[in-house]
Structure formats: structure tokens, C-alpha cells
Structure 1
Amino acid sequence: MASTYAGGVFRRRSEEASSATALAEQDDTQPRDPQAPKGRPTPKRSEAEANRRTRVTVPKDRKEAARQSRDRMRAEREKQRSALLEGDERYLPARDKGPVRRYIRDYIDSRWSLAEFFLPYAVVVLVLSVLPSNELKTASTLLFMLFFVMVIADFLRLGFGLRKALAAKFPDTNTRGSVPYGLMRTLQMRRLRLPKPKVKRGEKP
């Protein structure tokens, strides 16, 4: 009788253990109830992969973090350099972005300006000033002063014209700092300007 009772108890315990194991395996294959005290929803595969990638890219030390920061900055500078050469406005520096700045560049690039010849002219004057002839030195100084005055007058002409054009084109837009931005562009020779000119001389912007 005792052996029969012990066998029955042992059999019931074995069945309960098997049931518990089956339930545990079922829980592993099915998402847990988010309302359960210790349960949580099983993450999606895409979320799990994203979390795994995030864990992999977290820098382990300060040197690694600095290296990753330098790599990101280098990639960003390369994007901006390519954008300046190709005109891709998505990656242009902040000072060159927007329809106002694009219009200013087109306005300046479509016109002749004396300022873009200032540097070549200054080189010629410098060469004349080192020659032994006093007459040439005096002439180079006078020519430089005359050209400088003409550049200032051309600045005023372009500046007033650009301000008027911006007021007509963008009446409800803040264009503060736009005129200096355009005048600084005139100091660069046309083929060296960045972003690259998109209009021809004489073409309407």
C-alpha cells in the first residue's frame, strides 16, 4: 500500500514538472503579456537589430569616442566640400543655404564687378613698385589708389542694386547680412567662387 501511494505521488510530481517545462518553453516562443507583473512584450527583430548595432557602436573609451567624432566631422566636411563644388544645397554650409543666398549668388555672378580683378591688379602694381624706376613706382601708387576708389564706387553700385532687388524679390523675408555676403563674393575671381556659379554673365538671376 505504501509503495503504491509513493509511486502515485512520484508520478504526479513528474507530470507537474513536465507541465511546468512545457509552459516555460511556450513562454519562450510567445510574447509575454505586457500587463503581467514581470512580463514585457517581445521586441521586433528590426528593433533588436537596431539595439544590437547601437551597442556595438558605443565607444568603449575616450580615445575611441574622439576618433569617431573626428571621423564624423571629416565626413561632414567632405560632404560640404562636394556640395560647394557641385551645388548640392542639401549639404551646403548654413551661411550658403536658402533661396535668399542662392538669389544673391546668381545676382552677383550674372554681373561684372571690378572687385574680382582686385587681386590680379594688386600683383601687377606690386611688381611695378619694386622696379628701380621712380616714375613707375609713382605711377603704380597712383594707379592703385585710382583703382581702389573705383572698386569702392562699384561696391556701392552693386550693394544698392542688390538691396533693392532683395526687397522686391523677398519683401517679407529677413535679409539682414545679405548685402555683405554678396559683396564678399565679388572679391573672388569668378572661376574660384564657391558654391560654383550657376548663371552666365548677363543672364537674369
Structure 2
Amino acid sequence: MRVEPVPLGSVFRSRAKEEKAPTADKAPVTDSKQPRDPQAPKGRPTPKRSEAQTRRRSVANTPMTRKEAAKRQRDERRAQMERQRQALASGDERYLPARDKGPVRRFARDFVDSRVNISEFFLPLAVLILVLSMVRKPEVQSLVMLVWLAVIVLIVLDWIVTGFRLKKRLNERFPDQNKRGAIVYALMRSLQMRRLRLPKPQVKRGERP
């Protein structure tokens, strides 16, 4: 009876290879072409875009030191002051100081700027009276007193007329809005020379606001 020879390879085959084969078959197949977020650590899921943006904002808004926080505040204040300065020159309502904001205050400014106010000549007249008061002559001193009294009376009369007319116009134009302080705001503005007023005048003289 003839016995067929058995191949030695099938007898002495490594058992470790047989154990590793099914494990390799069960390994998940990953798509190497799928892009991975560079911010996502290996072995972790890719974060959502909103989460990544929130994380970046928190890092950017969190100062590392007290010195950096103080520097950032100074830069923000400087930028805000620059915006206000440009707004005072251009009349941009978005960046004006709180005392100048609103349609009521804007109308009060335009009302004063459209008129010739006696009170706007107060500063140059005051300088002239001060110079004349240095002259030590009785007749000049008497003249200075009369001029000073006349200037005060004219300014008071001008304020009364301006305040009465402005109040009437404000009640017609803004019946339901808060107009508190608008009259005083306009009268204080009328004391300044036109070229020195801030915010800058946006209407011409004689133009109806």
C-alpha cells in the first residue's frame, strides 16, 4: 500500500500567521483621500466649524498678560476717540458723543447754524472789551461799561428769541420725542463762533433746517 507524501509546508506552517490573517481581514478600511482637519488631534473626530471658530475667538479675546490687556484697552479708546473726532467733523451720527446724538439734537444744531446769532460774537467782543478796559482813562472806562452792558442785553434778547422759536419748531417736528435739554444745548452752541462749532455745521446760513 503506497502512502502519498504530505507537503512539509502545510505541517510546519506558522500558527502565528494563521492567527494574524483574520485580524487583518477585520481591520477597518480607512479612506486615505478624506481630508483631516489640521486642528483635530489624531484619533479624534474633526470639530465642527462653529466650535473651531468659537475656540479661535476665545483664544484671540483672552489676553495672556495684564500688560497686553491694558494695551488693548488703550488701543480701543484711541480708536474710539479717533472715530468721534472724524464724526464731529463730518456729522456722522454713528460715532457722535451721546450729548450730540439723535434727530432732536441734530435739528437744534441746524436751527442755530442756519441763523446769524448775536451771541456768536460774544468771544471777540469780550476780548475787545478786555483790551479797552486796560486803558486808564475815565471816559474809556465808562464806554467799556456801556458796551459790556449792551452786549449782555443783546445776548439775553437773542437767547429769548432763539429759544422761543426753536421750542415751537421742535414741538411741531418732534411732538412725541424727548426734547429735554435741547434748548440749552442750542443756546450754548450759539455762543461759539461758527467755524469753531463741533459737530461742524451741516447747513448754510439762511437755509431752512
TM range (shorter): 0.7 to 0.9
- Partner Cα distance (2:109, 2:204) in 1: 11
> Which TM-score applies when normalising by structure 2?
0.80
- Aligned mate of 1:43, from 31, 48, 68: 48
Alignment partner of 1:61 is 2:71: no
Alignment partner of 1:81 is 2:85: yes
Deviation at 1:136, TM superposition (A): 0.8
Deviation at 1:98, TM superposition (A): 1.9
Aligned partner of 2:21 in structure 1 is 11
Aligned partner of 1:99 in structure 2 is 103
- Partner Cα distance (1:7, 1:78) in 2: 76
- Partner Cα distance (1:81, 1:8) in 2: 82
Aligned partner of 2:171 in structure 1 is 167
- Partner Cα distance (1:6, 1:51) in 2: 48
Summarize the Cα distance change of 1:15–1:133 in structure 2 as closer, same or farther, 3 Å threshold: same
- Partner Cα distance (1:29, 1:71) in 2: 38
- Partner Cα distance (1:70, 1:114) in 2: 42
What is the identity, as a one-letter code, of the residue corresponding to 2:207?
E
* Corresponding residue pairs, total: 193
What is the identity, as a one-letter code, of the residue corresponding to 2:186?
G
- Residues 64-100 of structure 1 show CA distances to partners (whole Å, capped at 9, x for unaligned) of 1111101111111111111111222222222212221
Summarize the Cα distance change of 1:100–1:41 in structure 2 as closer, same or farther, 3 Å threshold: farther
Mapping for residues 51-200 of structure 1, pairs under 5 Å: 51-52=55-56, 54-200=58-204
What is the identity, as a one-letter code, of the residue corresponding to 1:43?
K
The runs of 5 or more residues in structure 1 that have no matched partner are 31-38
Contact 2:84 2:95 in 1 (8 A): yes
What is the identity, as a one-letter code, of the residue corresponding to 1:12?
P
Query: How much is the aligned-residue C-alpha RMSD, in angstroms?
Result: 2.7
Deviation at 1:4, TM superposition (A): 4.7
Give the SS at the match of 1:7: helix
Aligned partner of 2:6 in structure 1 is none
Deviation at 1:24, TM superposition (A): 9.7
Give the SS at the match of 1:126: helix
What is the identity, as a one-letter code, of the residue corresponding to 2:16?
A
4+ runs of 1 displaced by more than 6 Å?
A: 24-28
Contact 2:36 2:46 in 1 (8 A): no
Deviation at 1:51, TM superposition (A): 4.0
> Which TM-score applies when normalising by structure 1?
0.82
The runs of 5 or more residues in structure 2 that have no matched partner are 1-10, 38-43
Summarize the Cα distance change of 1:40–1:103 in structure 2 as closer, same or farther, 3 Å threshold: farther
- Residues 32-60 of structure 1 show CA distances to partners (whole Å, capped at 9, x for unaligned) of xxxxxxx877322x863674365245321
- Partner Cα distance (1:48, 1:77) in 2: 33
